Amino acid sequence: MEFDHIARRVPDVGGAVDWYRTMFPDAEVLYQDPTWALIEAGGVRLAFVTASQHPDHLAWRVTNATLDDLARARGVEIATHRDASRGFYMDGPGDTVIEIIAYPNDRRP
């Protein structure tokens, strides 16, 4: 299990991306659409999401086999995301939402 990303709800995904690209010129936009974006800056991946799509969360990456085992053990359903990653959310301590995520062919894009 490895840390993957932090996701933050923002009212304007494009505005958040623009702000980070201005403040951190080396930030790389890995994906962006009107409701979701993923950037990498300083070795950290940040996702910007709309409130209707995702909760604020911390995400850990696992293999697809481990994801299946964890979901089965917890009795939760795995969702497939628009980028073909798969995962599920669970509650962590202190109102923290945790995402367990796996990528196609176990390869992080």
pLDDT, tens digit only, all 109 positions of the chain: 999 999 999 999 999 999 999 999 999 999 999 999 999 999 999 999 999 989 999 999 999 999 999 999 999 999 999 889 999 999 999 999 999 999 999 998 8
Question: The domain containing residue 69 runs over which residues?
Answer: 2-106
Count how many domains the chain has: 1
pTM: 0.91
Ranges of beta strands (E only) in 10-96 are 28-33, 36-41, 44-49, 57-61, 79-80, 86-91
What pLDDT score was predicted for residue 82? 85
Which CATH number does the domain housing residue 80 bear? 3.10.180.10
Greatest Cα-to-Cα distance within the chain, rounded to the nearest angstrom: 43
